[in-house]
Structure 1
Amino acid sequence: MTSPGTTRKQGRSSAFVDAQPVLVNASRFRKVHSADWERLDQLVTRCEKRSVRALSDDDLLALPLLYRSALSTLSVARETSLDRSLVAYLEQLCARAYFQIYGVPTSALRQLAHFFAHGWPDAVKSLWRETLVALLLTVAGAVVGYLLVVSDPTWFYGIVGDGMANGRDPTASAAALKATLYDSKEELLATFATFLFTHNAQIAIFSFALGFAFAVPTAMLIIYNGLMLGAMMAVFASKGLGFEFAGWLTIHGTTEMFAIILSGAAGFRVGTAIAFPGRLARGDSVVNAGRAGAVAMGGAVVMLAIAGLLEGIGRQTVTGDTTRYAIGLAMLAGWLVYFYLPRRT
């Protein structure tokens, strides 16, 4: 049996041991964890020099795990009073990793620069299939509209409204139609340009917004826009002014039609995500599609604004057919390079 004195001694000894901090061998501690610290340091440095996009999928998955491990070792290092240089190194490493994982608020100017440098073109590039579908529907609508009006001019009034026609209809003479292409009356042209911009902006916005209805309304709007384009072309071509009308349209139309096509593509992405969510839950699929679509739509608004400037100013002051074609085709080439040319991340 243990005597009471011995028990008291053991109790005092146990209390003394519990009061002492747990000792950790610094060299062994470094050896066990240094590999994880070095890898975390490398990943964070790569993010700082370039961006998170520079990391592979495996690195992206490892980054938060390594960060939590570093936090745990930092806590141990502080509690066991390891050397100050190690504690300072871990504090700095964890702070750098935190900013890369959770991010920090950036200025509006920096966010805007990132939108134009990466966000918008990346979103458009991801919609290339939907963009191709919207383009084909536009071309198909234009061909059908052209053939319908050529075969029976009365189709024009069922396709194009009075506001859009503005006197450009099958009953107009060649001289009257030609005057609308080169007339320098600023008030008349400014009014028509404003109407046309508003009309096309509405089509672009509705093409995206109605995508949730399985993209059916979006497809109908895109086709209808093509029908109007073909019908107008048929009126001018029938009076021998097809080339001139195409030049009149090209100076702003390449930008404007591209914006409408991108808006339709964004609507298609949302609609197909609802109809065919794949392995994701329907809600998650729609959220992912909505993000890319919203970014592309935001950029399309910028394109419509640029088209409005070309339509309201450039088309009035530039009356040469060759110059109109040159400006329009240069804008188209610029958009294609901006969206689809590979770039560094």
Structure 2
Amino acid sequence: MHSGTSRLPEAVSAIESAALRSDRFRLEREADWQRLEAIVTRMEKGRLRRLPDEDLLALPGLYRTVASSLSIARETSLDAATLAYLEALVQRAWFVVSGPRSSLWDWLRGFLGGGWSAAVRGIWPDILIAFAVMVAGTAVGWLLVAQDVNWYHALVGGDMAGGRVPGAAPEVLRRTLFGESERGGMSLFATQLFSNNSQVSILAFALGFAFGIPSLLLLVHNMAMLGAMLWLYHGAGLLVDFAGWLAVHGTTELFAIMLAGAAGLHIGRALAFPGDRPVLQATAEAGRRAALVMTGVVLMLVVAALLEGFARQLVDQTFGRFVIGGFMLALWCAYFFAFRGNRRQVGPA
């Protein structure tokens, strides 16, 4: 009992000493804390223009001072209230000093205002390769089916083909392109085609890490299916009508597939041929650029879905469909290859 009683004054003395040390620590630095808090509060409220120049110049130094105070407070086990205050203040100040500078709207404006088109132009060699591969894939599909009709079922598949099979009467195939009675069935086919192309776009990009080879093979396979269907409608004398039906959303959708394949190939080329840069640096730069392109590909697929769901349904003439498809193709080409804008806010060049 005597021993416990004798230790009580020592414990009280230790508590008083810790409190005195905490008060002294706070008094010596509180002016800087309060000044930083006032600056941060005004900036959080959007009053940056009213902030004096001397406060803006002092902001980085004040932030470092308060961060140092927090570090000392943690090491010396100061009172919990001081620690909580400093942690909250440092966190708020970090967002002001080092946090994101732009809002979502600012990012979107920079993305559509030139960042996306600059990223696309940055992978133009890969776009040319992807375009050539897609053309070759279409030709391969056509030639395979022309030599052996059994290739049609292997390339298109039963779920995708439906009634669009070799031997179908021209009038049956025509009703899949025009008229109200069969439009629901063709809408289902278009939905399946859109779903397939969306998956191809994502996979073509995702498989780019394998030196881009799987991306190119995927493009060949997907376009071979299109080549087989072009052969089918050509045999029925409906090639132009089918091309018009496809053009409404296809010029956007196939463009998106081409960009996705090119983005995957861009990463693969950076892995295989990094040039004078280290492999990791080359791949990281290519990955950032390709990711920016793919963000736009998602947007293009959404636009293609809207065109498929509305424009193609409302326009029941081949010429009108070509007009819509041609306009969209011209719009994308003009945006990507003629429009420069301001690309400083997003992504690498």
SS at match of 2:168: coil
Could you tell me how far apart the structure 2 residues matched to 1:194 and 1:139 are? 23
Q: Report what 2:126 is aligned to.
A: 130
**Alpha-carbon displacement from aligned partner over 1:305-339 (angstroms, at most 9, x marks no partner):** 11111112221221101000000000000000011
Q: Report what 2:272 is aligned to.
A: 275
Q: Report what 1:8 is aligned to.
A: none
Q: Report what 2:141 is aligned to.
A: 145
Could you tell me how far apart the structure 2 residues matched to 1:95 and 1:122 are? 35
Could you tell me how far apart the structure 2 residues matched to 1:203 and 1:89 are? 54
User: How does 1:240-279 map onto structure 2 within 5 Å?
Assistant: 240-279=237-276
Match of 1:177 among 166, 173, 177: 173
SS at match of 2:187: helix
Q: Report what 1:313 is aligned to.
A: 310
Q: CA deviation at 1:217?
A: 0.7
Could you tell me how far apart the structure 1 residues matched to 2:307 and 2:339 are? 28
Residues 102, 132 of structure 1: CA spacing in aligned structure 2 closer, same or farther, 3 A cutoff? farther
Match of 2:105 among 85, 103, 109: 109
**Alpha-carbon displacement from aligned partner over 1:185-205 (angstroms, at most 9, x marks no partner):** 454233222211111000000
Q: CA deviation at 1:280?
A: 1.5
Residues 244 and 321, structure 2, Cα contact 8 Å, conserved in 1: yes
User: How does 1:70-81 map onto structure 2 within 5 Å?
Assistant: none
Q: Report what 1:337 is aligned to.
A: 334
Q: CA deviation at 1:94?
A: 8.8
Could you tell me how far apart the structure 2 residues matched to 1:187 and 1:173 are? 19
Q: Report what 1:41 is aligned to.
A: none
Could you tell me how far apart the structure 2 residues matched to 1:135 and 1:252 are? 18
Residues 189 and 316, structure 1, Cα contact 8 Å, conserved in 2: no
- Following TM superposition, the consecutive aligned residue runs of length 4 or more in structure 1 with deviations greater than 4 angstroms are 88-96, 101-104
Q: CA deviation at 1:92?
A: 6.2
1:295 and 2:292 matched: yes
Q: Which amino acid aligns with 1:287?
A: A
Could you tell me how far apart the structure 2 residues matched to 1:107 and 1:313 are? 32
Residues 132, 95 of structure 1: CA spacing in aligned structure 2 closer, same or farther, 3 A cutoff? farther
Aligned residues: 257
Could you tell me how far apart the structure 1 residues matched to 2:243 and 2:58 are? 60
1:155 and 2:163 matched: no
SS at match of 2:277: coil
Could you tell me how far apart the structure 2 residues matched to 1:192 and 1:135 are? 25
Q: CA deviation at 1:109?
A: 1.2
**Alpha-carbon displacement from aligned partner over 1:144-172 (angstroms, at most 9, x marks no partner):** 21122123222211211112212211121
Moved more, 241-250 or 150-159: 150-159
Q: Report what 1:73 is aligned to.
A: none
Q: Report what 1:59 is aligned to.
A: none
Residues 247, 106 of structure 1: CA spacing in aligned structure 2 closer, same or farther, 3 A cutoff? same
Q: CA RMSD in A?
A: 2.4
TM-score of the aligned structures, taking structure 1 as reference length? 0.70
User: How does 1:144-223 map onto structure 2 within 5 Å?
Assistant: 144-184=140-180, 185=182, 187-223=184-220
Residues 150 and 238, structure 1, Cα contact 8 Å, conserved in 2: no
1:232 and 2:229 matched: yes
**Alpha-carbon displacement from aligned partner over 1:191-246 (angstroms, at most 9, x marks no partner):** 22221111100000000000001111101011112211111000000111111111
User: Higher relative contact order at CA 8 Å, sep ≥6: structure 1 or structure 2?
Assistant: 2
Q: Report what 2:117 is aligned to.
A: 121
Residues 320, 344 of structure 1: CA spacing in aligned structure 2 closer, same or farther, 3 A cutoff? same
**Alpha-carbon displacement from aligned partner over 1:79-114 (angstroms, at most 9, x marks no partner):** xxxxxxxxx878767989xx9x96852111111111
Residues 193 and 308, structure 1, Cα contact 8 Å, conserved in 2: no
Percent of counterpart pairs with the same letter? 43
SS at match of 1:181: coil
TM-score of the aligned structures, taking structure 2 as reference length? 0.69
Residues 145 and 228, structure 1, Cα contact 8 Å, conserved in 2: yes
Residues 280, 150 of structure 1: CA spacing in aligned structure 2 closer, same or farther, 3 A cutoff? same
Q: Report what 1:10 is aligned to.
A: none
Unaligned 5+ segments in structure 1 are 1-87
Could you tell me how far apart the structure 1 residues matched to 2:246 and 2:150 are? 23
Residues 141 and 226, structure 1, Cα contact 8 Å, conserved in 2: yes
Unaligned 5+ segments in structure 2 are 1-51, 61-94, 343-349
